[in-house]
Amino acid sequence: MRFFTSWMKWEEGRRETPIEYANFVIMLLIALGIGVLAVVVSAILGPKKASRTKLMAYESGNDPEHGGVGTGQRFPVHFYLVAMLFIIFDIETAFFFPLAVAYQKLVPFAFFEAVAFVGLLLVGYVYILKKGVLEWA
């Protein structure tokens, strides 16, 4: 018994893909356009009375210590590690999507395939766990 054959009639009458991508681009342009419009309208309508104090960066009323973008402000390495782990596990997810969609046509071989793949990644996961990468002290 295959669960996914029963809704195949829903897929009929679907239009070809290029027009759907054009629709997507239209929606994207509309959405970005609204953002641009809001910013432009506000820039025209709002008052413009800048002063040195008003434009200062917020630091509880003190003079800001570090100045501006790219002046080498330091931040914890944890964020870098999380980003790395995200890339690794997101690639795992990316590999899993096609497997999941075609899964019922590939069983039971696909199951062992998936378990082997997850097993390899779990080794890495346990390693980072033991290394304490996931500890946010």
Partner 1 sequence: MPGWLVELLITLVKGLALAFALLTTFAYMTLVERRLLARMQIRLGPNRVGPGGLLQPLADAIKSIFKEDVNVTLADKLVYTLAPIVAIGMALTAFGGIPAGPPGSLFGADPWVYNLDAGILALLAITSMGVYGIFLGGWASGSKYPILGGLRSSAQMISYELGMGLSILGLLMLVGSTSFLGIVGWQAVNGWMILFQSLAFALFLISSFAETNRTPFDLPEAEQEIVAGYLTEYSAIKWALFQMAEYVNMITASAIMATLFFGGYRGPGFLNAIIPGIADWPIMWLVVKIAFFLFLFIWVRATLPRLRYDQLMRFGWKLLLPVALANTILTAAYLAFARGFGLWPLAVLSLAGLLLLLLLSDRVRVLWNTPTVRREDDSLPNTRPAGGD
Please list every residue from 108 through 137 that binds partner 1, using CB under 8 A.
108, 110-111, 114-115, 118, 122, 125, 129, 134-137
Find the shortest distance in angstroms from Cβ 74 to partner 1.
Answer: 10
Q: How far is the CB of 77 from partner 1 (least distance, A)?
A: 11
Length of the chain: 137
| Contacts to partner 1 from residues 64-93, by CB under 8 A | 64-69, 73, 75, 78-79, 82-83, 85-86, 89-90, 93
Of residues 32-61, those binding partner 1 (CB under 8 A): 32, 34-36, 38-39, 41-43, 45-50, 52, 54-59
Nearer to partner 1, 14 or 123 (CB): 14
Closest approach, Cβ 123 to partner 1, in A, equals 13
Closest CA to 92 of 124, 136, 133: 124
Q: Are 121 and 92 in contact (CB under 8 A)?
A: yes
Q: Is the dihedral of CA 45, 51, 55, 58 positive or negative?
A: negative
For the CB of residue 28, give the shortest distance to partner 1 in the complex, in Å: 5
Q: What angle do CA 94, 104, 92 make, to 5 degrees?
A: 15
Report the alpha-carbon angle 88-92-94, nearest 5. 115
